[in-house]
Amino acid sequence: MRRNKWIGYMLVSPAVLLIFGLMISPIFYTGYISLHKFANLQIGKFVSFNNYLKLLSDRSVMNSIGTGLEITFLALSCAMFFGILASLWLHSKRGTQANLLQLLCLIPWFTSLIISALNWRWIVNTDYGLLNSILKNMGVPIVQILESTALSFLMVSFIMAWRTTGYIMILVLSGLKSLSEEMLEAAKVDGASYLQTLFHIKFPNIRSQIILAFIMITLANLNNSTIPLAFNNGGPAGATTTVALKLYTLGFADLDFGKGSALSVLMLLINLLIIVFYMRSMRYEKV
């Protein structure tokens, strides 16, 4: 029996080594670095929370946290609304038709972030984009999305919502499919209206899928630096510089790894908070 146990550990060791070595231990190392002076990739003297204080006094960083949260939740709530709506609509479809529709909804989720952002950027291009050409043809004044702070902000949120709606739809749909027919039948017999069935039977029973979608998409949006970067480089005037993008520019444009690692730790703590909810919802699923 003891021998058996060692076979098990040997079999998981490559996986655990990789995950621990490349995903978990760097977090602790960065925590250590964030408490030191760090220049030219050399660890300097211990400065305690100096990097964090510098971070907190940096207006652009604080703004980016606000922007990041705003874009995350704006995109999330739109995607949630339309995703759930689409799943309710798709749930009534059967067969090949339903399969094709699911695939159609999922295309943006499997398109890479870079490609999505660049394709949309070309569509909303001020002078030659598809959108403005159509507007010009209709005689409507053109929109300068890439030059306007508010419109860029909305457009980045839109792209994030656009790519995640399909994912939410698939998750919620899987929940809807697992509902028992008898329960819905019983509700119908008891004379429940469509909305009553929806709010009192369907939603409570697919709570775990909705929570899971909520968590995963919050995490994905909050940590999405690629879409703001490729769509408009975080501009104009920092309007789309999310905290994820700020993290990237702090490290790899400003080469300020002291502040960068402090912000990384901060981001990881936020992620950790979300992940705790994730782990709890997974346990909820397993029991």
Partner 1 sequence: MKRCKPKIRTVDLFVVLFIGFLNLTPMIWALLTSLKTEQDIYAYPIKVFNFIPTLGHYRFILNNRFGQAFMNSILYSVVAIVCSIAVASMAGYAFSRYKSKFMSFLFVLVVFGIPLASGSNALIIPNYIVFTKFGIVNKFYTLPLIYITYNLPMAIWIALGGIRSIPYEIEEAAIIDSCSKRYIIFNLIPRMNKPALACAALFVFIGAWNEYIVSAVLITSPQYRAIQVAVYDFMGYFGFQWGPLMAATILALLPILVLFSFLGRQLISGMTAGAVKG
Interacting positions 170-209 with partner 1 (CB under 8 A): 170-171, 173-175, 208-209
Is the Cβ of residue 145 or residue 170 nearer to partner 1 in the bound state? 170
Q: How far is the CB of 136 from partner 1 (least distance, A)?
A: 8
Give me the DSSP letters along 58-88.
Answer: -HHHHHHHHHHHHHHHHHHHHHHHHHHHHHH
Q: Which two tokens stand for residue 220?
A: 């994905």
Q: Which stretch binds partner 1 (CB under 8 A): 53-61, 147-155, 187-195, 225-233?
A: 225-233
Q: Which stretch binds partner 1 (CB under 8 A): 50-58, 147-155, 189-197, 254-262?
A: 254-262
- Cβ burial of 153 (10 Å; 0-12, 13-18, 19+) is buried
> Rounded to 10 degrees, what is the CA torsion of 253, 274, 69, 103?
90
Q: How far is the CB of 189 from partner 1 (least distance, A)?
A: 26
Does 105 participate in binding partner 1 (rule CB under 8 A)?
yes
Q: How far is the CB of 25 from partner 1 (least distance, A)?
A: 8
Does 157 participate in binding partner 1 (rule CB under 8 A)?
no
Does 257 participate in binding partner 1 (rule CB under 8 A)?
yes
Q: Which stretch binds partner 1 (CB under 8 A): 49-57, 128-136, 147-155, 187-195?
A: 128-136
Q: Which two tokens stand for residue 287?
A: 């029991």
User: For residues 234 and 240, is the Cβ–Cβ distance under 8 A?
Assistant: yes
Residue 229's closest CA among 158, 156, 163, 161? 156
Is the Cβ of residue 97 or residue 196 nearer to partner 1 in the bound state? 97
Does 255 participate in binding partner 1 (rule CB under 8 A)?
no
User: Binders of partner 1 among 44-103, rule CB under 8 A?
Assistant: 86, 89, 97, 99, 101-103
Is the Cβ of residue 56 or residue 279 nearer to partner 1 in the bound state? 279
Is the Cβ of residue 93 or residue 186 nearer to partner 1 in the bound state? 93
Q: How far is the CB of 128 from partner 1 (least distance, A)?
A: 5
Tell me the C-alpha distance between 237 and 153, whole Å.
11
User: For residues 30 and 265, is the Cβ–Cβ distance under 8 A?
Assistant: yes
Is the Cβ of residue 62 or residue 187 nearer to partner 1 in the bound state? 62
Could you give the C-alpha distances from 263 to 52, 69, 223, 233, in angstroms and in order?
Answer: 8, 15, 12, 19
Is the Cβ of residue 101 or residue 192 nearer to partner 1 in the bound state? 101
Q: How far is CA 114 from the centre of its chain?
A: 15
Does 167 participate in binding partner 1 (rule CB under 8 A)?
yes
Q: Which stretch binds partner 1 (CB under 8 A): 48-56, 186-194, 196-204, 219-227?
A: 219-227
User: For residues 35 and 51, is the Cβ–Cβ distance under 8 A?
Assistant: yes
Q: How far is the CB of 95 from partner 1 (least distance, A)?
A: 9
Does 220 participate in binding partner 1 (rule CB under 8 A)?
yes
Does 226 participate in binding partner 1 (rule CB under 8 A)?
yes
Q: Which two tokens stand for residue 72?
A: 């995350």
Q: How many CA atoms lie within 13 A of 67 on its CB side?
A: 28
User: For residues 177 and 124, is the Cβ–Cβ distance under 8 A?
Assistant: no
